[in-house]
Amino acid sequence: MSPAKVCLLLSLPLLVLFAMSLNGQGGILTGLDALFAPAFENTNEVLLYYAWWPRLCVALLAGGGLALAGVLMQQVLRNPLASPTTLGVASGANLALMVATLMAPGLLIIGREWVALIGGGLAVGLVFAITWRRGLAPVVVVLAGLVVNLYLGALSTALLLFNHETLAGLLIWGAGSLAQNGWDGVASLWPHLAVSAIAAGLLLRPLGVLELDDASAKSLGISLKYLRFAGLGLAVFITGSVVSVVGIIGFIGLAAPNIVRMAGARRLSSRILWSTLLGAVLLATTDLLLQHFSGMVATLIPTGAVTGALGAPLLMWLIPRLKLQGDRPPRAAGVFMNRHPAPHRLAVGIMLALFAFSILGLLLGQGADGWYWISPAEWDVLEWRLPRVMAAAASGLMLAVAGTVLQRLSANPMASPEVLGISGGCAIALILGIYFLPTPSNIVLIGIGTLGAMATLLVLVALNRKSGFVPERLLLSGVAISALFDAVRSVLLAGGDPRGQQVIAWLAGSTYYVDVTSAVVVGSIAVGLALITLPFNRWLDILPLGAPTARSLGINLNRARLALLLMVALLTACATLVVGPLSFIGLLAPHMARLVGFSRARQHLLGAALIGMLLMVIADWVGRQIMFPYEIPAGLVASLIGGAYFMWGLRRL
């Protein structure tokens, strides 16, 4: 099916909903009269002119703009997983609005969109500053963007935990709201997008050079650094303009470009044209559908959340039809290729640090009279601290090993347990259990979470079995499942239910509720699964070299990929059940291990596991002490500590 036919087919629901919506408000002719010559004494026409039509126009503009930004991002970064939210624009805008609401509410009077735009710009400026020395190399830009995204998201979640009532209104904006009360949004968006479309047209031929590898592009006399800066800068400008008006609607920029690529659009000009049209159609259709059914539910449902909920199944249906050259050797299997001369001595040093911080977490703390040490014999205190230290270490071990396996399996530095979707599926099941079951016990929640993780794994296998588990297709499947999780989370949190606070704390990666029995069980599972991973070392050494090399060395790719995927799913599900969908350790620990010099698969697994445990143990202790008697969840602290170190490490490369 051609891109034109796909756009036409998906436009039919939009036309039907358009007619149904106007028929419910006096008919199509009345709606057109309200647009071009409104009778302001007629309440219905006033609502159409100031609310319905501006909302439709903003949906079309925002959807088209996000899709255009998505095409540019994917072209420059050479990665189908890249999207307008990749470089931290949305998280920067969200954090800026939170800070302004708490500390300088007067700035919001000037204009919320300006605060959001400045926040998004500063976030992207940080990404560019980190990666400038590497010539804005795609892999490094993607890594920096992911880290900045997670870092700013952790800061936002920390603010939300301690100021939930004050910031509750921002949850709706953060989930993407297209509600309008005039034409200001349209007036703000269309000039920005018109200029962006002209700029994209001027960049068509230069950006086409990025289809080549770096060496070929440089031989043509192209400055890759400044070309990437121009392409990414334009995508960021578009994203910032859209986010400042309608909030965070992230899935359109990922789905539309991939759908038109699946439909056969290969040239950049074709992808830009059809992706922009399809993005406008998808977002407008979703918003009209939401308006049609919004009266059936008592809570407010943001459009951005519904976009993810509807777009994710569409993307999952199209993924098996995606033509990807997933078997070619990766352009960059990893960023850090340092080799430590004595990796075993380095591992011993990290183990000693882990032991020291574990003792610190058990014996040193604060009380009513300040800091104090306890005796190892004081079990009445240790019975509360020991499970938390054990659970933190176990979850760090499992997420680090899962992230290492996934990154080496896919040869994609963006890969992490969250991207695979296992933690998202587990989280969806647990959140639904918390909301819809009367006082569920921990055992019931564990069972529900396990079922959610296994159901996600079955979906992944079903979508990718025929393709032989091609890594890029597998990761796209995980992104679609994660989008569903984000949609469910956004809808439930935006509803204002008091149980949302418990969900936020769990999502942040908390060890609050772990007892001795569950800590021993999860620790045993973590060690067992980590040991089971060791026999796969040969596969993990060879798979990053590409499918042809792996086959020539006698590896059955389908069997190897399925076995490793199952191992990642088990590790992620067990960790998620303990501390929530904390994926940052799964992204960070493998890279830190490679950064300090663990290169071969066995060394990489060992180093990542030790670093993951160390980070989580430190994070749990710091979270308990830094704002005593209040606590910050270990997941947030791990993101803040590890993210700062990772950004520093990227800057020094």
Q: What pLDDT does residue 344 have?
A: 80
pLDDT at 79 over 80: no
- Tally Cβ neighbours within 10 Å of residue 566: 13
Do 242 and 251 form a contact (C-beta atoms < 8 A)? no
Q: Which residues contact 246 (CB under 8 A, 6 or more apart)?
A: 58, 62, 176, 177, 178, 185, 303, 304
Q: What pLDDT does residue 568 have?
A: 84
Per-residue pLDDT of 132-165, as tens digits, reads: 877 777 767 776 777 787 788 778 877 877 776 6
Measured between alpha carbons, how far is 54 from 188 in angstroms, rounded to an integer?
12
Q: Which residues contact 522 (CB under 8 A, 6 or more apart)?
A: 390, 391, 394, 395, 514, 574, 577, 578
Query: Please, which pLDDT band fits residue 204 given cuts at 50, 70 and 90?
Result: confident
Measured between alpha carbons, how far is 643 from 202 in angstroms, rounded to an integer?
36
Q: 97: closest CA among 150, 149, 166, 145? A: 166
Measured between alpha carbons, how far is 78 from 80 in angstroms, rounded to an integer?
7
Measured between alpha carbons, how far is 83 from 162 in angstroms, rounded to an integer?
30
Bridge partners of 371?
366
Q: What pLDDT does residue 146 have?
A: 72
Q: Is 368 helix (H, G, I), strand (E, B) or coil?
A: coil
H helices then E strands: how many in the chain? 30, 2
Per-residue pLDDT of 434-464, as tens digits, reads: 778 877 776 777 778 778 877 887 887 777 7
**Mean local confidence (pLDDT), 118-127:** 86
Query: Radius of gyration (Cα) for the chain, nearest Å?
Result: 25
Q: How far from 78 is each of 66, 127, 219, 320, CA to CA, in Å? A: 18, 17, 19, 20
Q: Which two tokens mark 632?
A: 């910050």
Q: 505: closest CA among 596, 390, 630, 332? A: 630
**What is the distance, to the nearest Å, from the Cα of residue 500 to the centroid of all Cα atoms in its chain?**
20
Measured between alpha carbons, how far is 239 from 407 in angstroms, rounded to an integer?
28
Q: Which two tokens mark 212?
A: 């080549």
Q: What pLDDT does residue 400 have?
A: 92
Q: Which of 22-36, 43-57, 249-263, 310-324 has the lowest mean pLDDT?
A: 310-324
Q: What pLDDT does residue 332 have?
A: 42
Question: Which stretches within 250-302 are classed as H helix?
Answer: 252-262, 268-293
Query: Please, which pLDDT band fits residue 468 given cuts at 50, 70 and 90?
Result: low
> At how many degrees (to 10) do helices 89-103 and 164-174 cross?
150
pLDDT at 330 over 60: no
Q: Is 100 helix (H, G, I), strand (E, B) or coil?
A: helix
Q: How far from 82 is each of 398, 520, 627, CA to CA, in Å? A: 26, 39, 36
Q: What pLDDT does residue 326 have?
A: 44
Query: Please, which pLDDT band fits residue 494 given cuts at 50, 70 and 90?
Result: low
Q: What pLDDT does residue 329 have?
A: 40
Who wins on pLDDT, 498 or 640? Answer: 640
Measured between alpha carbons, how far is 145 from 123 in angstroms, rounded to an integer?
9
Specify the DSSP element, H or E, that contains 372: strand 370-373
Query: Please, which pLDDT band fits residue 583 given cuts at 50, 70 and 90?
Result: low
**Mean local confidence (pLDDT), 523-544:** 87
Percent with pLDDT over 70 in the chain: 82
pLDDT at 642 over 90: no
Q: What pLDDT does residue 199 have?
A: 92
Q: What pLDDT does residue 61 have?
A: 93
Measured between alpha carbons, how far is 492 from 224 in angstroms, rounded to an integer?
44
Do 448 and 430 form a contact (C-beta atoms < 8 A)? yes
Q: What pLDDT does residue 589 have?
A: 87
Q: What pLDDT does residue 331 have?
A: 44
**What is the distance, to the nearest Å, from the Cα of residue 345 to the centroid of all Cα atoms in its chain?**
35
Measured between alpha carbons, how far is 316 from 481 in angstroms, rounded to an integer?
8
Q: 89: closest CA among 119, 56, 52? A: 119
Amino acid at 535: P
Query: Please, which pLDDT band fits residue 390 given cuts at 50, 70 and 90?
Result: very high
Q: Is 302 helix (H, G, I), strand (E, B) or coil?
A: coil
Does 629 sit behind a cis peptide bond, omega within 30 degrees of 0 on the bond before it? yes
Who wins on pLDDT, 329 or 1? Answer: 1
Task: Give the DSSP letter of residue 330.
Answer: P
Per-residue pLDDT of 32-73, as tens digits, reads: 888 888 887 888 888 888 888 999 999 999 999 999 998 998
pLDDT at 180 over 90: no
User: What is the three-state SS of 209-255?
Assistant: HHHCCHHHHHHCCCCHHHHHHHHHHHHHHHHHHHHHHHCCCCCHHHH
pLDDT at 335 over 50: no
Per-residue pLDDT of 16-31, as tens digits, reads: 888 888 887 778 888 8
Amino acid at 636: L
Q: Which two tokens mark 633?
A: 């969840």
Using a 10 angstrom Cβ sphere, with 0-12 exposed, 13-18 middle and 19 or more buried, the burial of residue 65 is buried
pLDDT at 653 over 60: no
Task: Give the DSSP letter of residue 299.
Answer: S
Q: What pLDDT does residue 638 have?
A: 79
Per-residue pLDDT of 553-574, as tens digits, reads: 888 887 888 888 888 888 887 8
Q: What pLDDT does residue 68 have?
A: 93
> At how many degrees (to 10) do helices 303-318 and 268-293 cross?
130
Measured between alpha carbons, how far is 70 from 427 in angstroms, rounded to an integer?
27
Q: Please give the mean pLDDT across all residues of the chain.
A: 79
Query: Please, which pLDDT band fits residue 277 given cuts at 50, 70 and 90?
Result: very high
Q: Is 378 helix (H, G, I), strand (E, B) or coil?
A: coil
Query: Please, which pLDDT band fits residue 599 given cuts at 50, 70 and 90?
Result: confident
Handedness of CA 199, 258, 324, 540 (dihedral sign): positive
Q: What pLDDT does residue 221 have?
A: 67
Task: Give the DSSP letter of residue 52.
Answer: I
Measured between alpha carbons, how far is 490 from 90 in angstroms, rounded to an integer?
15
